[in-house]
Amino acid sequence: MIVLLWALVGFAVLGCGSCIKCHCDDERAGNRFSLVPCNITPGEKLGVCECPPPDAKCVWLYGMGSPTATPDIHSFCVAPHLLSRRPSSPFALTAKSSSDLLKGYCTYPEQYNRHRMGWGRVYRHCCDDADFCNNFEAEWKLMAETWPHLYGPSSTPAPPTTTAPPPAMTVEEWMDRLAEAASLPRWAVAVVFFVVAGLLFVVFFAFGFLMARRYRWGDKKIEADSEIGNDVSDTDSDTDSDPGPPITIQSTVAAGITIERTIGRGRFGTVCLATWRGGPVAVKIFASRDSMSWARESDIYSTAMLHHENLLGFIASDTLDTGTQTEFWLIMDYHHLGSLYDYLNIRPVSQLQLMAMMYSIANGLTHLHLELIGTNNQDKPSIAHRDLKSKNILVKRNGECCIADLGLAVRFSSDSKTVDIPANEKVGTIRYMPPEILNGTLDSARFESFTRGDIYSCGLVLWEILNAFNRAKVPPRERHRLPYFDTMPDDPSLEEARAVVCEAGVRPELPAPSNAMMSSLHTLLRECWAADAVVRLTSLRVKKKLAALSSQYFGVPRS
Q: Are residues 394 and 309 in the same domain?
A: no
DSSP H helical ranges for 405-446: 435-438
- Pair 377, 512 in one domain: yes
Q: Does 369 lie in the same domain as 318?
A: no
The answer to whether 273 touches 334, Cβ cutoff 8 Å, is yes
Q: Does a structural domain hold residue 139?
A: yes
**What is residue 334's three-state secondary structure?**
coil
How far is the CA of 208 from the CAs of 211, 212, 219, 225, 338, in angstroms?
A: 5, 6, 16, 22, 37
Residue 53 sits in the same domain as residue 105: yes
Alpha-carbon distance of 362 to 125, in angstroms, equals 82
- pLDDT at position 411, please? 94
Give a yes or no: residue 180 inside a domain. no
276 in the same domain as 418: no
What local confidence, expressed as pLDDT, does residue 71 receive?
59
Q: Does some domain include residue 170?
A: no
Binding residues for ATP: 284
User: At how many degrees (to 10) do helices 447-470 and 351-369 cross?
Assistant: 170
User: Rounded to an integer, what is the distance from CA 168 to the centroid of its chain?
Assistant: 49
Binding-site residues? 284
| Domain stop point among 297, 313, 332 | 332
Helix 186-214 with 2-17: angle, nearest 10 deg? 90
Q: Which amino acid appears at position 5 of this protein?
A: L
Are residues 389 and 466 part of one domain? yes
pLDDT of residue 133: 79
Q: Give the pLDDT confidence of 511-557 residue by residue, as tens digits.
A: 999 999 999 999 999 999 999 999 999 999 999 999 999 999 999 88
Q: What is the CATH number of the domain that holds 403?
A: 1.10.510.10
Q: Domain end: 332, 358, 389, which one?
A: 332
Q: What residue numbers bound the domain in which 293 lies?
A: 228-332
Q: Are residues 404 and 306 located together in one domain of the fold?
A: no
Q: CB count, 10 Å around CB of 205?
A: 10
E strand or H helix at 460, and its extent? helix 447-470
Residue 157 counted as domain residue: no
Our count of domains for the chain comes to 3
Tell me what the mean pLDDT of segment 286-309 comes to.
91
**Contacts for 157-166: CB closer than 8 Å, 24+ residues apart:** 157/71, 159/62, 159/71, 159/73, 160/45, 160/136, 161/136, 161/137, 162/23, 162/45, 162/46, 162/135, 162/136, 162/137, 163/46, 164/23, 164/132, 164/135, 165/48, 165/132
Is residue 550 located within the same domain as residue 428? Answer: yes
- Boundary residue ending a domain (151, 169, 197): 151
Which DSSP string corresponds to 81-135? Answer: GGEEEETTEEEEE--SSTT-TT-EEE-SSS--EEEEETTEEEEEEEE-SSTTTT-
Same domain, 276 and 393: no
Same domain, 429 and 484: yes
What stretches of 371-436 adopt beta strand conformation (E)?
A: 382-384, 393-395, 401-403, 410-413, 418-420
End-to-end CA distance of the chain: 66
Let me know if residue 215 belongs to a domain. Answer: no
In this structure, how many other beta carbons lie within 10 angstroms of the beta carbon of residue 519? 13
Q: Rounded to an integer, what distance in angstroms lies between the CA atom of residue 54 and that of residue 35?
A: 12
Q: Which residues contact 390 (CB under 8 A, 6 or more apart)?
A: 339, 340, 341, 344, 461, 464, 482
Residue 416 placed within a domain? yes
Residues 273/277/279/280 CA torsion (nearest 10 deg): -10
Mean pLDDT, rounded, for 330-345: 95
- Encoded amino acid at 59, one letter: V
The pLDDT tens digits for 215-248 are 543 443 333 333 333 333 333 345 443 344 444 4
Is residue 143's pLDDT more than 70? no
Write the pLDDT tens digit of every residue in 465-487: 999 999 988 888 788 999 999 99
| DSSP structure string for 252-275 | SSGGGEEEEEEEEE-SSEEEEEEE
What is the average pLDDT value for the chain, to the nearest integer?
Answer: 77
In a domain, 277, yes or no: yes
Q: What pLDDT is stored for residue 473 in this prediction?
A: 87
Examine residue 511 and say whether the peptide bond preceding it is cis (omega within 30 degrees of 0).
no
CA–CA dist 540, 180 (Å, integer): 86
Per-residue model confidence as pLDDT tens digits over 44-68 = 556 777 776 666 777 777 665 555 5
Mean pLDDT within 312-339 = 92
Whether residue 301 lies inside any domain: the answer is yes
Question: Range with the lowest mean pLDDT among 27-36, 59-68, 281-290, 378-387?
Answer: 27-36
- If one compares 333 and 156, the residue with the highest pLDDT of the two is 333
Provide the CATH number for the domain around residue 256: 3.30.200.20
Q: Which residue has the higher pLDDT, 248 or 452?
A: 452
- Active site members: 387
What's the pLDDT score for residue 394? 97
How many other CB atoms are found less than 10 A from the CB of residue 454? 26
The verdict on 392 and 538 lying in the same domain is yes
Q: How confident is the model at residue 258 (pLDDT cuts 50, 70, 90)?
A: very high
Measure the CA–CA gap between 125 and 113, rounded to whole angstroms: 7
Are 321 and 347 part of one and the same domain? Answer: no
In whole angstroms, what separates CA 417 from the centre of its chain?
42
Mean pLDDT of 295-309: 92
**Do the beta carbons of residue 559 and residue 540 sit within 8 Å?**
no
What's the confidence (pLDDT) of residue 86?
41
Instruction: Give residues with Cβ within 8 angstroms of 5, minimum separation 6.
Output: none
